[in-house]
Structure 1
């Protein structure tokens, strides 16, 4: 089962939830009291322990970075480990352990040069470590998240050409190969990590070193003074588990933690003007959509799909389902991301045009079932709002509420219309993973050989401007007749005490600066 808040994340609904602030297992102190004078300058202050609460995975949690699935897993992994690249705020790949990369003329071989960095035990990060890590991820006997992202790479043919240089041989031209280096879960571990107990003595190259780990309760990491990008401001970071949002909020208000991950819009609105905590909104973090199956009636007729595009009042959906915490969509993924086709006109509700299209398609008095679930914030609310909007165009929508535990697998192949959402990922990855004929998570069943050919053309195009033009052609096609009715982009919401400074506000969830604590300090 997959949770599309972050691409491919397994949902945590099966976890035994804790509740109340007493559920937090806190170690030590935060390095100061809440009544200390707050810093009014932008000058970082060194020292202290920051306590950050996330929903966790119970006793089965691990610090193996290649098994990271939940938000808590990822936050801990990026504190201990590095990737060769990571995604910037616009979802373009930014160098991390890789100092630079360069393709050959045909884009099927890439030379990657590593920066000078060391693991926590003092050993240098080398090309051998990189190849070992990627081959471990690609092990067919394992179920590591980044395996699918590494599929374009021929790891048997790839080789170290020097202590800090790797030649990656690809199975086909791949202009966006840096996205592979930034893939979710593609962390670099030491070459001898086979015998390492990741939960008792993990060795990474990240900004924090391991101190302790109690699965389902707490993980404590200490500043790595030798970190290649500079030592963190904090002495220590403690990740604590609180599965219920109320537990995270109560702990934040009670001074038991300084950082609470994942608040819902209603909670944020209630506390935003209260003065006790800071609300941080990470814009464009989650696409909100209705997914129409294009291979079956009634949505195998593009006139019906266009009619549904015109039925939606996007602002009403945003206000009603997300308490206004976000911005309206335009039926395209990745608003504000690299390659986004921003020049297309904003689609508005037009019920007269929608009724006319339905009449031409012979779909007057249409009745369809909309699958939804409480699996994600705003899903059931959005379903009810859209049902009422559709009624104004003569369409009857029957809302069917499914199981939170099986929703993502249920809707992938079944039904005709469903609520859908996705976390941040590059537009190229969205196209390749969801909209090609052989895409494994093709929820709209969009299968067009000419569209596949455009994707391959983009991947074979070295010039970025020319490549962007191909991506725009693909997006124009989806805007006109695709199966995703993308009505909004939700904010990702974090709460902190007023002592916490340096939290990046322009980083969508699942990017480099999201849940990144080496640049944060306590005032």
Structure 2
């Protein structure tokens, strides 16, 4: 995952050593398997912990009565020897999966990316939306100590430490943590620097996990309040957890969870086919299509998990002219882009982030390709023979394919697009300020967070350089509006503006693709990645 864009990209995470994996002799840490094909795995699979029995239907939460027992082994791309179990340093998908096993947040995102209570049992604001009282449910850390208001304040103050580089620090910026206080053991009063109607989103922020007061060491024997307890951890290799029978949300069905690192997608797929793991994370669309319905493994698709787009710099030529931006909206054949770049594993976009999420403006007309209208707009803008460079990179699935497809679509409107392929290692930083047009994607987050992080004048990851004081004022109006219906109306106004003249050409929303063994049950399929039910292994069981 790229830390700037909430996409969970793993382009810096490859371990280049071609040494055997310590727990899976046939799985080399570089990602390739010593044995070729499924036939070579019989002697390599760990005993007594995989799914058993005949192949069954894909695992959904309604597939039969949960069964207790067994160990689930889940393969993720990882971060090498620098990995840590410090939840406030979570960055890659593997980090988050481990953090969710051991720790809890006060809230997390539901299927529509609205905040749902977790360690918090509820919250209530004052009339000015600048003070919020958060009530804690009765929960215990793994050492038997209760989760208290002091633990919450310690955790948030640790995250906000200016000397640290914790990811959730920016999300907590609206909170005055010096003025915030523990009202009693299970009540926290948060004092805010300004009205913040979407304050619950802060409680659900990426990496905002609650740890015991005073905790600083996490890799030797971390103590959290999550559904699994720590057993062992080898950075860049594996982590093992066991069932927390005292978990406040009900003990997991599994006895044990093991998260193993396999950076190459081919290694994760082959380990799944060979019975070395029961869950393989982050498969590409071609792999999903090749194995779906074949019976060997089950393909699980998490819909609307990643926005796919091109970002136009709105403050520099030629995209400082909104007619040119509208022309590019009309050049795109979105279905061709989804079919070609994502192998059909997604749905078309409408130049807005967050399709299906809370506050999404789904009433706006779906934009269609209209080359004649695009040519007319370019002529009016004096850009009939336009030449532009499209920056892209193999940093994310479908990027280079989408760039080539769009280049050919633009040629039909008389626009020459030169595709420039950048470095996987520096791409996300390079495109923030460089170039004029680039490939872009984002993982799931609330629409409010997308706006605040990317579309305000002072947003730190404003890839389109969309900077309008009146738009900033609308955001502040939304945050100061207590009535949710009225607040939704303000978000609708903002999205209508972006749909008409914004800098994101959102052509699609990609499925996030997972693979599981046929006997795995309880995988939630209705929620996108980054939400509560993604990688929630306490609800999974082995049939």
Give the TM bin, normalised by the shorter chain. over 0.9
Which residue number in structure 1 is paired with residue 25 of structure 2? none
Change (3 A) 1:362 1:125: same
Q: List aligned pairs for 1:202-217, cutoff 5 A.
A: 202-217=222-237
Which residue number in structure 2 is paired with residue 6 of structure 1? 6
Give the match's secondary structure for 1:193: coil
Unmatched runs of 5 consecutive residues or more in structure 1: none
Q: List aligned pairs for 1:247-396, cutoff 5 A.
A: 247-396=267-416
Counterpart-to-counterpart distance in 2, 1:30 and 1:76 = 22
Counterpart-to-counterpart distance in 1, 2:87 and 2:323 = 46
Q: CA deviation at 1:411?
A: 0.5
**Which of 93, 99, 105 is the matching residue for 1:71?**
93
**Does 1:199 pair with 2:211?**
no
Change (3 A) 1:10 1:28: closer
Which residue number in structure 1 is paired with residue 30 of structure 2? 18
Counterpart-to-counterpart distance in 2, 1:267 and 1:339 = 33
Change (3 A) 1:265 1:5: farther
Give the match's secondary structure for 2:539: coil
Q: CA deviation at 1:481?
A: 0.2
Q: CA deviation at 1:19?
A: 1.7
Which residue number in structure 2 is paired with residue 114 of structure 1? 136
Counterpart-to-counterpart distance in 1, 2:48 and 2:89 = 29
Q: CA deviation at 1:2?
A: 3.2
**Does 1:438 pair with 2:450?**
no
Counterpart-to-counterpart distance in 2, 1:157 and 1:3 = 29
Counterpart-to-counterpart distance in 1, 2:82 and 2:13 = 14
Which residue number in structure 1 is paired with residue 482 of structure 2? 462
Which residue number in structure 1 is paired with residue 434 of structure 2? 414
Equivalent pair of 2:306/2:442 in contact (CA under 8 Å): yes
Which residue number in structure 1 is paired with residue 19 of structure 2? none
Give the match's secondary structure for 1:518: helix
Q: CA deviation at 1:15?
A: 4.0
Equivalent pair of 1:14/1:405 in contact (CA under 8 Å): no
Counterpart-to-counterpart distance in 1, 2:517 and 2:184 = 47
Equivalent pair of 1:12/1:70 in contact (CA under 8 Å): no
**Does 1:97 pair with 2:119?**
yes
RMSD: 1.7
**Does 1:429 pair with 2:452?**
no
Which residue number in structure 1 is paired with residue 169 of structure 2? 147
Counterpart-to-counterpart distance in 2, 1:160 and 1:120 = 22
Q: What's the TM-score once normalised by structure 1's chain length?
A: 0.97
Q: CA deviation at 1:227?
A: 0.2
For 1:421-465, what per-residue CA distance to the aligned partner results, in whole angstroms no more than 9, with x for missing partners? Answer: 000000000000000000000000000000000000000000000
Q: What's the TM-score once normalised by structure 2's chain length?
A: 0.93
**Which of 188, 201, 206 is the matching residue for 1:184?**
206
Counterpart-to-counterpart distance in 1, 2:34 and 2:74 = 15
Give the match's secondary structure for 1:385: helix
For 1:403-434, what per-residue CA distance to the aligned partner results, in whole angstroms no more than 9, with x for missing partners? Answer: 11110000000100000000000000000000
**Does 1:62 pair with 2:74?**
no
Q: CA deviation at 1:507?
A: 1.3
